[in-house]
Amino acid sequence: MKKLLLLLVVLCSVSSLFSQKKSKVLLTIDDEKTTVSEFKRVYEKNLDALDNDEAKDVEKNLELFISYKLKVKEAYKIKLDTLLSYKREMEGYRNQLSAPYMQDSSFINKLVKDAYFRTKNEVKAKHILIRTPKEATPKDTLEAYNKIVQIRKRIVAGEDFEKIAVEVSEDPSARDNPKTRRPGNKGNLGYFSAFRMVYAFEDNAYKTKVGEISKPFKSRFGYHILKVDAFRLSRGEVEVAHILINDKTAKGEELINTVYQKLESDEQFKALARKYSTDVSSKSKGGKLRKFGSGVMVKSFDDVAFSLQKEGAYSKPFKTRFGWHIVQLIKKYPVQSFEELERELKNKVRSSERAQLSQKVVIDKLKKKYVITENENAKSIFSRKDIRVMPKDSLKAIILTINGQNSTQEEFVHFIQRKKIFLCFSFLKNLKTKKFYRTIKII
């Protein structure tokens, strides 16, 4: 009851909260005072991480702040802070509160604008990949880099890009696959837009002029070079239904033509898809597929789907490596305005590898602002194989000094342990909420 009364009293005065003097006491819990300035600092710092008015609501944030303070008080009182589950929760709070400090809002806004430009415009490119091992040594990395440099020299000197891609690229899709009888793409990736490729690849594709060969660049797969073939306005996304006959023989062609004649005789597309389509994932839905943009489907399917102009119109039968198709247009989705897409793009930027670029900007600024000294001798202890069984007394050396504030080896070990616990907890939590794939990517 006391907790509820405290909350009500504070919320009654929230409208004039930020007009108070900085030293004004906002709330008191068991004689421990919290000032207006303390809450104001936490609230304003988190604004950059919030994208809607409800999340920015002062009353809701104040309620969360009080709940947090009460939890901490209660936990210490009953010694809950010794439990692993509580430590995990506190680590979650630390990460939430620290996240805005590790983002440069102006740089994030630039990335969002870049992402919108790359959503409105599609680029067509081909590439050659030289892979590096997951646990690459400096020697492995140097060998891969030198190899891609020599390949680029051959192309710049006049050799055919596609021919060399088939010869040397370590992307298996470049060559014919005799087992599946799937023809190689000779390095051609077709058209794509923002968030379709790993960021390093996307960034270099959009920064390379049409007809030019990029300089070698690295992604998590290895070293690439790419050639940009074309650039165009995005076609947006399209939603279609299809009928698939996966028999690629003359018998399959005969059946798809029979289905087409039934459509021409005014039979319903949905009914025919349910009856004849061999695509088990879509036939029960009348052949309906999820909406998609350029580069998601095989090129021939992609081209036919986007060529349909009127809703309800359907194509003539055509063939892909999957079999025979007829496609019907359900709806087209042009690229929305920046204002309409801004929030979605900002969320994508923050949840993708682009966010690491923003963190790097912050870290680079901090490195210039603070005096940082690393103790190489103290760091060398972490290369020892027996570090897990070493007594704590042997981890007292100073490993890092920032503006005169020292951190020991032991403190660094505790930091790493907390991070591991939080990652494991996040992994299990997301697994339970069916966000397994996203967790894997984060880890």
Q: In what order do the strands lie in the sheet with 121-131?
A: 188-192, 121-131, 222-233, 217-219
Residues 161 and 180 in one domain: yes
Pairing mode, if any, of strands 372-374 and 398-402?
antiparallel
pLDDT reported for residue 389: 66
Note down the domain range covering 256.
237-333
Q: Same domain for 120 and 197? A: yes
- Same domain, residue pair 226 and 196: yes
Q: What is the pLDDT of residue 358?
A: 75
Distance separating alpha carbons of residues 38 and 19, to the nearest angstrom: 14
Residue type at position 207? K
Q: What is the mean pLDDT of each run of 10 residues along the chain (443 residues)?
A: 43 46 74 81 67 69 81 76 68 61 78 96 97 91 97 97 97 89 90 94 97 96 97 96 96 97 97 97 96 91 96 96 96 96 92 81 82 86 72 80 87 73 50 39 30
Give a yes or no: residue 344 inside a domain: no
Q: What is the DSSP string of 165-181?
A: HHHH-S-GGGS-BTTTT
Asked whether residue 351 is assigned to any structural domain, the reply reads no
Cα separation, 56 vs 419, whole angstroms: 28
Alpha-carbon distance values, 246 to 85, 208, 242, 288 (Å)? 52, 39, 12, 17
Residue of 89, 79, 93, 69 lying closest to 3 (CA atoms): 69
Residue 215 phi/psi, 5-degree rounding, is -70, 155
Q: Please give the model's pTM, rounded to 2 decimal places.
A: 0.65
**Beta carbons of 62 and 70 less than 8 angstroms apart:** no
In this structure, is residue 360 part of a structural domain? no
Question: What CATH number is attached to the domain comprising 150?
Answer: 3.10.50.40
Q: How many domains does the chain have?
A: 4
Angle at 27 (CA atoms; ends 23, 29), nearest 5 degrees: 125
Q: Is residue 348 part of a domain?
A: no
Whether residue 133 sits in one domain with residue 68:
no
Given the structure tokens 């306005």, which residue do they identify?
233
Same domain, 307 and 415: no
Residues 85 and 154 in one domain: no
**DSSP conformation class of 213:** B
List CB contacts of 173: < 8 A, sequence separation 6 or more: 184, 185
Q: How many CB atoms sit inside 10 A of residue 20's CB? A: 15
Smallest CA-to-CA distance from 269 within 318, 323, 315, 302 is with 315
Decide if 108 is inside a domain. no
Q: Which amino acid is at 83?
A: L
Same domain, 228 and 208: yes
pLDDT at position 341 = 96
Same domain, 50 and 95: yes
Same domain, 179 and 259: no
CA distance 328 to 288: 9
CA distances from 298 to 144, 278, 326 (A): 30, 18, 14
Of 305, 333, 361, the last residue of a domain is: 333
> Tokens 């490729």 label which residue?
197
One domain, residues 12 and 97: yes
Domain boundary among 233, 260, 294: 233
pLDDT at 16: 47
Residue 356: inside a domain, yes or no? no
- Same domain for 71 and 47, yes or no, is yes
Cα–Cα distance measured from residue 241 to residue 299, given in angstroms and rounded to the nearest whole number: 17
- Residue 7 located in a structural domain: yes
Residue 163 domain-assigned?
Answer: yes
Q: Measuring CA to CA, which residue among 18, 11, 13 is closest to residue 41?
A: 18
Closest alpha carbon to 316 in 329, 298, 304, 300: 304
Question: C-alpha angle with apex 110: 107 to 113, nearest 5 degrees?
Answer: 155
Last residue of a domain, one of 203, 233, 263: 233
Cβ–Cβ under 8 Å, residues 97 and 122: no
**Pair 307, 379 in one domain:** no
Which residues lie below 8 Å from residue 124, measured CB to CB, with a gap of 6+? 189, 190, 191, 192, 228, 229, 230, 231, 232
